[in-house]
Structure 1
Amino acid sequence: MTTKSRSQIVLYSIFALLGLTTAFWFNSQAVLSNANYITDGFTSPVDWVYSLDLLIGGFAGMTFVVLESRKLGFKWWPLLIAGGFVTAFAFVFPLFLAIRVHLLAKKALAGGRMDQYEFDGHRVDVWVPATLNPDTPVLVMHDGHNLFYPEHASYGATWGILDAMPDRIRSANKPLVIGVWQGRSEDRVLELGPEDFVTETPGAQERIPQHTLPREGYSKMGNTYQSLIAEKILPVLSDLYAIKLDPTRTAIAGSSMGGLASLYGMVKYPKVYGTALCFSTHWPIGGNELVDWFAKRLPMDGKHKVWSDTGTIELDAEYAPFHERFVSKMPAENFIGAIYPMTGHGELWWCGRVEHPINWWLTN
């Protein structure tokens, strides 16, 4: 739940408490003085104004309570309505508003919750499903800042994975989703890049666009980043959430350079990741040599699975020859090389198909 949601709940709860307190006090005074609620409420034009205002506002508010409760699946609304007649609508209505904020926040999180950690200067956001067990699948995703929060996303749009989780992601055993942020934005290409390919391939480092590198001295960080996830983040979080890690239930996913990082994670740690899910894999940074390098090293032994896709417009328009080459070199078993016509390069495109590779991983 966000700080904003918590603040709203506190504010509405204060109003509800104030409404309950004033209702109790003034109702007590009215009862003790034998006041007539009907006649005393309509003795002057001013009383009529206040009474009708309260009556109309109360009925409108109760209608809102009923409609919103049905939409949010809140089954206790009849008790709230009855409570409004017994106590005061000034208590019941703000109480419902607090409940509504809680239900909306829960819905936004697909029934789960968000936890946050930091590992070696990398923020890690974790979506925890409502039900956990030792066999809960684990999905590691790169570029964590683009996963859950629009205010942190590079272009104001997220992957929409939580929107997909309730219905579009079909598995009843929802995965724990680990979103790893890059340490510094200027380190992204180096952290997500396949370091061994750069080291082993003459001229590979010169192909990296210079504007994507840190302005000051830098070192190759792909192996350090992969080690951080596989040897530290995953063991710590699996222990914390009492999940038994198994490659058949552990996937690594990302887009663009994150797609390359996902393939590289499987190459480096085949005993950790059984599946790599790659959206709009950014082949041009290494060209055909990079395609061939991965095709030779990926552990396609019948136990590992790879999904790699591409669009056909924007930056993805450059991917076709490399994507086709990769598809031609991969075995048919446990591999999907998907093409999404007239889709491009960005979260607004990827969120439209985020469930496709995840369902393929979880249900096949």
Structure 2
Amino acid sequence: MILKNFYLLLPFLSSILSVMSQTPAPHVSSGKIVRIENFSSKFISSRNIDIWLPEGYSSQKKYAVLYMHDGQMLFDSTTTWNKQDWQADEVATKLMNAHKTKDFIIVGIWNGGATRHPDYFPQKPYESLNPNQKVFVTNELKKIGRTEENFQPVSDNYLRFLVKELKPYIDQHYSVKKDRANTFIAGSSMGGLISMYAICEYPEIFGGAACLSTHWIGIFSDTNNPIPEAFLKYMDSHLPQPQTHKIYFDFGTATLDAFYPKHQAKVDELTRKKGFTSNNWETLQFEGEDHSEKAWAKRLHLPFEFLLKK
């Protein structure tokens, strides 16, 4: 029943998220937000970018950069559709004050509302599906209002936007370290998928990825679903080198996260086979935790510290 109710909300969320472009910049407990309204792109639809700068940010020093998806959900629960947020500013501030991480800024990239699913769905694994499998995916997404026509991911263009447009802007306008060892990407659910895809497609750009409650099923049913296997095959040939990259995965066991344990186990087996160890890879299970910003906020310190520890 909980999962059914969760699905019923999904068609509703895109319309809410598209309206959120009218919201004011989030209030943060420390540091400050610099908003870029409707950052334009030749690759994807324009969208807001919320850049969080820590307390005492100074051009006299250099900062690591963490790019995070679903930027409208990161900082201020009073502006989000479900009155929850990741508390990313509070978590980052505590870790930096305790000297557990490098100093870093957070670049919150708003999702595109109705374009979120095609923006975040890894494109090359989808394109490896046969025609019947693609029809299956389209039909499943039509059931819950995620698409009205044939589904087609555009995540390759979304990543081009990140790498060719947004990162150069951040590198030019902020006092940041530009190298791979100080450039990270993170997200949850579909944002977890696109974070995995980003570090695989652009291993020269991103040195680490945090994938929380990664939506391995891609759609909202696990019956006769070809997507998880397509993701595994893609990762088998595209995972970056463990010597130079870090990957963090986690998942809960309630609501939508209940689908993930068996798929994460296969991902873990593959990741281990590729040579990742506890030095550069972590997968954590959170019993009873659901698929929500509240749940991710409670454990956000773990991926932050894992990727950005001094």
Q: TM-score, normalised by structure 1?
A: 0.66
Given the alignment of the two structures, is residue 156 of structure 1 paired with residue 80 of structure 2, yes or no?
Answer: no
Structure 1 unmatched ranges of 5 or more: 6-104
**TM-aligned CA deviation for residue 282 of structure 1:** 0.5
Pairs within 5 Å for 1:311-350: 311-331=252-272, 332-333=276-277, 334-350=280-296
Structure 1 CA distance for aligned equivalents of residues 288 and 241 of structure 2? 30
**TM-aligned CA deviation for residue 174 of structure 1:** 2.6
- Find the counterpart in structure 2 of residue 192 from structure 1: 120
Amino acid paired to 2:257: D
* 1:270–1:214 distance in 2 versus 1, CA, 3 Å: same
Moved more, 282-291 or 230-239: 282-291
Given the alignment of the two structures, is residue 113 of structure 1 paired with residue 42 of structure 2, yes or no?
Answer: no
Structure 2 CA distance for aligned equivalents of residues 3 and 155 of structure 1? 16
1 or 2, which has the higher helix percentage? 1
Which SS does the other structure have where 2:243 is aligned? coil
Aligned residues: 260
Give the one of 153, 167, 170 matched to 1:234. 167
Moved more, 117-126 or 250-259: 117-126
Percentage of pairs with the same residue:
25
* 1:4–1:158 distance in 2 versus 1, CA, 3 Å: closer
Which SS does the other structure have where 1:303 is aligned? coil
Structure 2 CA distance for aligned equivalents of residues 142 and 322 of structure 1? 22
Q: TM-score, normalised by structure 2?
A: 0.77
* 1:353–1:267 distance in 2 versus 1, CA, 3 Å: same
Deviations 1:308-338 (A, max 9, x none): 1111111111111101011111133211111
Structure 1 CA distance for aligned equivalents of residues 69 and 24 of structure 2? 25
- Find the counterpart in structure 1 of residue 247 from structure 2: 306
- Find the counterpart in structure 2 of residue 362 from structure 1: 308
- Find the counterpart in structure 2 of residue 68 from structure 1: none
**TM-aligned CA deviation for residue 131 of structure 1:** 2.6
**TM-aligned CA deviation for residue 176 of structure 1:** 0.8
Which SS does the other structure have where 1:284 is aligned? coil
Structure 2 CA distance for aligned equivalents of residues 338 and 205 of structure 1? 34
Give the one of 105, 109, 118 matched to 1:180. 109
- Find the counterpart in structure 1 of residue 208 from structure 2: 275
Deviations 1:211-269 (A, max 9, x none): 34343676431111111111111110111013231111111000000000001111121
Structure 2 unmatched ranges of 5 or more: 1-22, 41-45, 219-226
**TM-aligned CA deviation for residue 123 of structure 1:** 0.6
Larger radius of gyration: 1
Structure 2 CA distance for aligned equivalents of residues 245 and 350 of structure 1? 27
Give the one of 43, 51, 59 matched to 1:126. 51
Structure 2 CA distance for aligned equivalents of residues 172 and 304 of structure 1? 17
- Find the counterpart in structure 1 of residue 67 from structure 2: 140
Which SS does the other structure have where 1:167 is aligned? helix
Give the one of 160, 185, 195 matched to 1:262. 195
Runs of 4+ in 1 over 4 A off after TM superposition: 2-5, 216-219
Structure 2 CA distance for aligned equivalents of residues 270 and 4 of structure 1? 32
* 1:4–1:177 distance in 2 versus 1, CA, 3 Å: closer
Structure 1 CA distance for aligned equivalents of residues 214 and 145 of structure 2? 17
- Find the counterpart in structure 1 of residue 181 from structure 2: 248
**TM-aligned CA deviation for residue 196 of structure 1:** 1.1
Deviations 1:248-296 (A, max 9, x none): 1111000000000001111121111000101000101222331332233
Pairs within 5 Å for 1:190-229: 190-202=118-130, 203-204=133-134, 206-207=136-137, 209-210=141-142, 211-215=144-148, 219-229=152-162
Higher RCO (CA < 8 A, seq sep 6+): 2
> CA contact under 8 A between 1:115 and 1:126: conserved in structure 2?
yes
Structure 1 CA distance for aligned equivalents of residues 101 and 285 of structure 2? 27
Structure 2 CA distance for aligned equivalents of residues 236 and 165 of structure 1? 22
